[in-house]
Chain A
Amino acid sequence: MSTLLEVSGVSVTFDGFRAINNLSFQIGEAELRAVIGPNGAGKTTFMDIVTGKTRPDEGRVIWGEKSVSLLKMSEAKIAQAGIGRKFQKPTVFEDQTVQENLLMALKKPRGWLPVLSYRAKPEDLDKVAELATEIGLVDELTRKSGELSHGQKQWLEIGMLLAQEPRLLLVDEPAAGMTPQEREHTTDLLLEAAKTRAVVVVEHDMEFVRRLNCKVTVLHEGSVLAEGSLDHVTSNQEVIDVYLGR
């Protein structure tokens, strides 16, 4: 399996605080990966670096089979290259309907001119309806997304990510604040997505990670502490000390 994203030797410092310290990480195509770690381990900063929000002080971030460096690219360019990101708090455009949200995310030219002249074609609307069915929001298409429940917003955001058709999906705590049934649905969505693309899930909740049943990377103080199956890392003494044994 070829490598889709390769992060190597990345460090970043905020006001003297080393948030990421010589971090290396790899993920292949169509792989599901969970990233766990205690608060302040650098999970969110790691996502910020990959999506271009934060520039690292040193290190390389290499993307795709053409091995392009993501460090010089803007957030928008990185997103266009095929990296989608879901935030910890559900962030959808609350003043707009579910349909408008999904249409905006749909993989189409992102320049201002094509967007200005864009009018939704029937097949685009079909695509949106199909996605909405997948995320269970097909009856809410014309509702303002701000009215949705917390869980529904999370799904809408996942739906928007899928609409972008990214090759790599970065998902930050997707199950936070969800009911058990909602969690199950979210797990299914992520497992389904990981069949065709790489998915990185940052999560606190061990039970949720166990259900994903995938390779786990443990972060601690900005670098990788352990990597492997969940059983493998949870039996690692260091991991137990810093994270599980608290």
Chain B
Amino acid sequence: MQRSFIAKNPSVLIFLACLALFTLMVTIFSEGFGVGMISTSFVKTLGKTLCLCLIAVAMDLIWGFTGILSLGHFAFFGLGGYMIGMWLMYERTRLIVVESLSQTEIPPTRSEIVDAIGNQIFGVVGANEFPLIWAFADSLFLQLVLVVLVPGLLALVFGWLAFRSRVTGVYLSILTQAMTLALALYLFQNDSGLRGNNGLSGLQNLPGVDASQDVVSLWFLWASAVALGLGYLLAAWVVSGKFGSVIRGIRDNEARVRFLGYSVETYKLMIFTLTACIAAIAGALYYPQAGIINPAEIAPIASIYLAVWVAIGGRGRLYGAVIGAAFVSLLSTWFTGGQAPNIPLGFYTIKWVDWWLVLLGLSFVAVTLFAPKGMGGLVDYWTQRRSPNRHGANLGPNDGAMREQEASK
């Protein structure tokens, strides 16, 4: 019990080493700094994948460890992306506007510049004035604060309302899904102030940076790797101590935790808000690499994918979530990118672009039924961790409780 944190959690060190090695290899083989075997667009894909791994870690915290199946975490991810996107778009447009107005004889006033920026950004939705929510868009610092603050506050308010009323299980999942759907529908409106279904675009261009995308993509890859490493470390630390005991207790048997004197609602709220903030940071790093964000990203289906990744990776173990997210999202890129060869059956040709979702759905069902430990469970063959024999009984009465096959002796 008195051993150090790393000694108790050797998987953390292994994970960080793998992550560092991965980042180094990509850098060496990249076009920006290395021998150019990995294209810049693939570097971006890998960087984005790291961000998806980070939100998967958050999902594992909330679902795998606390037993709350949230189907709304991509709302926080998207909001984080919007917050950083606002600054990127504002600042870049400002530079262009200042550049073009500098040709005029009379130097433009400040309000003229702001008006011109507004015109540029909101022309597509038939407006030219800045809505109130863009008030801080000219400050990188404030906008970075908002990356965490806005999704964090939303999670805090939503969670407070939901947990206080003791909504649990599938009802809570539906509520979170309704939240993300409502947010997406709101953002789809042109007068939401965030350019409706056009979303924010051109985010890959960092204002005031002359470096090529080859280099910028690597910066973001590094930033994403650092964020994933720190996020993983934080999550591992949170679940390692007594807090981890309490949230796992909540997952398996929430009433018992309550009678021990722990305020279950507060704990749920804290972990919900924390994971929302992690998701938001992941989103803020993801969308500058994707280049564009629009409300479709927040649609409930994205959050359901997230649950699928964590389930396929193996919930209740952080590296499982990372493996699941990386594997499934990269595979998904491969299949939907048209790179997977079609299978001609004579009478019908299986085109993976169409059939990939069916394959994903089938593997999700198969994993849940036959290998509940997911891909992370493969590690158990190596470390010889075994499942307890509980004659099919779960480890607690709650909906989200650990199942016999997921647990270890």
| Inter-subunit contact B243/A75 (CB<8 Å) | no
Q: Which 8 A-B pairs have the closest CB atoms?
A: A79-B261, A75-B258, A80-B261, A76-B263, A94-B395, A116-B243, A118-B242, A95-B395
List 23 contacting pairs A-B, 8 Å CB cutoff, sorted by A: A53-B255, A74-B258, A75-B259, A76-B258, A76-B263, A76-B264, A85-B259, A91-B256, A93-B248, A94-B407, A95-B402, A104-B260, A110-B261, A110-B263, A111-B266, A112-B270, A118-B242, A144-B407, A146-B395, A146-B407, A147-B409, A160-B260, A164-B260
Q: Is B253 interfacial (CB-CB < 8 Å)?
A: yes
Q: Is B376 interfacial (CB-CB < 8 Å)?
A: no
Which of A77, A104, A164 is most buried by chain B, counting CB atoms within 10 A of its CB? Answer: A104
Closest B residue to A116 by CB, please name it. B243
Instruction: Knowing that A95-B395, A119-B241 touch, tell me 8 more A-B residue pairs with CB under 8 angstroms.
Output: A76-B261, A91-B256, A95-B402, A96-B248, A112-B243, A115-B262, A118-B241, A118-B242
| Inter-subunit contact B243/A164 (CB<8 Å) | no
Q: For residue A146, which residues in chain B have a CB less than 8 angstroms away from its CB? A: 388, 390, 395, 407
* Shortest Cβ distance from residue A114 to the other chain B in the assembled complex, whole angstroms: 9
Q: Is A51 interfacial (CB-CB < 8 Å)?
A: yes
| Inter-subunit contact A95/B260 (CB<8 Å) | no
Q: Is B2 interfacial (CB-CB < 8 Å)?
A: yes
| Inter-subunit contact A93/B252 (CB<8 Å) | yes
| Inter-subunit contact B266/A93 (CB<8 Å) | no
The docked-state distance in angstroms from the alpha carbon of A243 to that of B2 is 54
A115-B242 contact, Cβ under 8 Å, with A51-B259, A76-B262, A160-B260: yes
| Inter-subunit contact B249/A104 (CB<8 Å) | yes
| Inter-subunit contact B409/A96 (CB<8 Å) | no
Q: For residue B2, which residues in chain A have a CB less than 8 angstroms away from its CB? A: 120, 122
| Inter-subunit contact B261/A164 (CB<8 Å) | yes
A115-B243 contact, Cβ under 8 Å, with A91-B253, A96-B248, A146-B388: yes
Q: Is B194 interfacial (CB-CB < 8 Å)?
A: no
| Inter-subunit contact A94/B261 (CB<8 Å) | no
Tally B residues with Cβ within 8 Å of A: 32
Where the two chains meet, the residues of A that have a C-beta atom closer than 8 Å to any C-beta of B are 51, 53, 74-77, 79-80, 84-85, 87, 91-96, 99-100, 103-105, 110-112, 115-116, 118-120, 122, 125, 144, 146-147, 160, 164
Q: For residue B242, which residues in chain A have a CB less than 8 angstroms away from its CB? A: 103-104, 115, 118, 120
| Inter-subunit contact A103/B260 (CB<8 Å) | no
B358-409 residues at the A interface, CB under 8 angstroms: 388, 390, 395-396, 402, 407-409
The docked-state distance in angstroms from the alpha carbon of A79 to that of B263 is 10
Q: For residue B261, which residues in chain A have a CB less than 8 angstroms away from its CB? A: 76-77, 79-80, 110, 164
The docked-state distance in angstroms from the alpha carbon of A146 to that of B394 is 10
| Inter-subunit contact B258/A79 (CB<8 Å) | yes
B131-176 residues at the A interface, CB under 8 angstroms: none
Q: Is B7 interfacial (CB-CB < 8 Å)?
A: no
Closest B residue to A51 by CB, please name it. B259
* Shortest Cβ distance from residue B269 to the other chain A in the assembled complex, whole angstroms: 9
The docked-state distance in angstroms from the alpha carbon of A99 to that of B2 is 13
Closest B residue to A117 by CB, please name it. B241
* Shortest Cβ distance from residue A164 to the other chain B in the assembled complex, whole angstroms: 7
Q: For residue A85, which residues in chain B have a CB less than 8 angstroms away from its CB? A: 259
Q: Mark B13-34, 1 if CB is under 8 A from A, else 0.
A: 0000000000000000000000
| Inter-subunit contact A95/B390 (CB<8 Å) | no
| Inter-subunit contact A93/B396 (CB<8 Å) | yes
Closest A residue to B249 by CB, please name it. A93
* Shortest Cβ distance from residue A103 to the other chain B in the assembled complex, whole angstroms: 6
The docked-state distance in angstroms from the alpha carbon of A125 to that of B258 is 23
The docked-state distance in angstroms from the alpha carbon of A87 to that of B396 is 14
Closest A residue to B256 by CB, please name it. A91
* Shortest Cβ distance from residue B355 to the other chain A in the assembled complex, whole angstroms: 38
Choose among A92, A95, A120, A144 the residue that contacts B1 (Cβ–Cβ < 8 A): A120
The docked-state distance in angstroms from the alpha carbon of A103 to that of B242 is 8
Q: Is B246 interfacial (CB-CB < 8 Å)?
A: yes
| Inter-subunit contact B390/A79 (CB<8 Å) | no
The docked-state distance in angstroms from the alpha carbon of A146 to that of B266 is 27
The docked-state distance in angstroms from the alpha carbon of A112 to that of B163 is 15
Q: Is B332 interfacial (CB-CB < 8 Å)?
A: no
Which of B246, B255, B261, B409 is most buried by chain A, counting CB atoms within 10 A of its CB? Answer: B261
Q: For residue B266, which residues in chain A have a CB less than 8 angstroms away from its CB? A: 111-112
Q: For residue A147, which residues in chain B have a CB less than 8 angstroms away from its CB? A: 388, 409
B322-367 residues at the A interface, CB under 8 angstroms: none
The docked-state distance in angstroms from the alpha carbon of A51 to that of B241 is 27
Q: For residue A100, which residues in chain B have a CB less than 8 angstroms away from its CB? A: 245
* Shortest Cβ distance from residue B168 to the other chain A in the assembled complex, whole angstroms: 15
Q: Is B130 interfacial (CB-CB < 8 Å)?
A: no
The docked-state distance in angstroms from the alpha carbon of A91 to that of B394 is 12
* Shortest Cβ distance from residue A115 to the other chain B in the assembled complex, whole angstroms: 5
* Shortest Cβ distance from residue B160 to the other chain A in the assembled complex, whole angstroms: 14
The docked-state distance in angstroms from the alpha carbon of A53 to that of B166 is 12
| Inter-subunit contact B245/A103 (CB<8 Å) | yes
Q: For residue A93, which residues in chain B have a CB less than 8 angstroms away from its CB? A: 245, 248-249, 252-253, 256, 395-396
A96-B245 contact, Cβ under 8 Å, with A120-B1, A122-B2, A146-B395: yes
* Shortest Cβ distance from residue A145 to the other chain B in the assembled complex, whole angstroms: 10
* Shortest Cβ distance from residue B155 to the other chain A in the assembled complex, whole angstroms: 15
Q: Mark B212-255, 1 if CB is under 8 A from A, else 0.
A: 00000000000000000000000000100111011011001101
